[in-house]
Amino acid sequence: MKDILIALIGTYYNALSYISKPYAADKALYLFTKPRAGRLNEEQYDFLHTAYQEELKYENDHIMTYRWLGSKQTILLTHGWESNAARWKKLIIELKNRGYNVIALDAPAHGKSGSKVFNAILYSEFINVVAKRFSPDIIIGHSVGGMASALFQHKYQSANLKKIVLLGAPSEFQDVMKRYTDMLGYNQRIVSQLQLTIHERFGSPADTFSTARFLETIQSEGLIIHDQDDRIIPYNDALLLKNSFKNSRLITTKGLGHSLNDATVADHIYAFIGA
């Protein structure tokens, strides 16, 4: 059923492109940036209410943050697409038990944060607001949360940030976009117009949004963890990140998939941050 729906959407937008390429590309980009999930369920809501909650602002959007107090370093957690801060529950509980000061946020259009759409650029600005408020020593980012964290540090060069952990993070936005357009079966009219729309909307071509390039300017110590069987973000992305991130180490897992929500991954994180 899901495959049929995807095919129908692609066919509809392809037909629409013969009426107006810009309109069809705009609708396709909106679909790409509109999460279908990521809001809190009851169990997640209950867990996040064990934290001190504070709402921050970026322009007209509110940013929901969660804080578990500790006496050690401050760790900021940035989740990925169609998720929320509660995805870190197991890690948060253990980090809290080990005495760390833990901060998590809900990304744009996720959890209890504002915005109708999501993208890594906006997410990086959310992270910057949170970083100014809490001054993290360590950032742990999953998937596009890792990309947004790298963009944040590339742009703002926080002197306080000593370590970055990237879990299943994508390297090239252009590749992410291609997987999306291929999945929907968009025609070349939409594909080419999307490039123009992205450049116009964000001020740079799609191929300039690259986690690997962002990491070239980052001096923090890095840990990259990626699974060989990741079907969402190919393992080759981790190799690109490792080649660019000068002071980093790559750990390869097998059979954990994209989520990397596993005790062995947590153990690697604890060893890296000195827990």
pLDDT digits (tens, 9 = 90+) for 102-150: 999 999 999 999 999 999 999 999 999 999 999 999 999 999 999 999 9
Backbone torsion region of residue 224, taken as left when φ is above 0, otherwise alpha when ψ lies between -120 and 50, otherwise beta: beta
> Mind listing the pLDDT tens digit for each residue in 34-86?
998 888 899 999 999 999 999 999 999 999 999 999 999 999 999 999 999 99
- Short-list 237, 251, 266, CA closest to 179: 237
Where do the domains of the chain lie, and which CATH numbers do they carry? 34-172+210-273 (3.40.50.1820)
CA nearest 176: which of 228, 220, 230? Answer: 230
pLDDT of 1 strictly over 80: no
Mean pLDDT in residue range 140-164:
97
Q: Is 263 exposed, middle or buried (0-12, 13-18, 19+ CB in 10 A)?
A: exposed
E strand or H helix that includes residue 166: strand 163-167
Longest pairwise C-alpha distance within the chain:
60
State the Cα–Cα distance between residues 136 and 138, nearest whole angstrom.
Answer: 5
